[in-house]
Amino acid sequence: MRNSRNEIVKYGVSFGTALAIAISWSENESVIWAILHGFLSWFYVIWHVITR
């Protein structure tokens, strides 16, 4: 059970990063912003939840 939980978290983080990059690209069309948002994806999600 522990291994499957680790894999779910790993893929969730990867999906979250890819989602942040995709949304950033569609909004800004900037590679630099997409990389920054991908790198800071979870902080970006938390910030969005707090500010909305």
Break the chain into its structural domains and give their ranges: 2-51
DSSP state of 40: T
pLDDT reported for residue 27? 93
pLDDT reported for residue 32? 93
Query: Residues 9-51: pLDDT tens digits?
Result: 566 668 878 888 899 899 999 999 998 988 887 786 677 788 8
Position with higher pLDDT, 24 vs 6: 24
pLDDT reported for residue 33? 93
Tell me the two tokens of residue 23: 């949304």
pTM reported for the whole predicted model = 0.60
pLDDT reported for residue 5? 65
| Alpha helices in the chain, H assignment, sequence order | 2-28, 31-39, 41-51
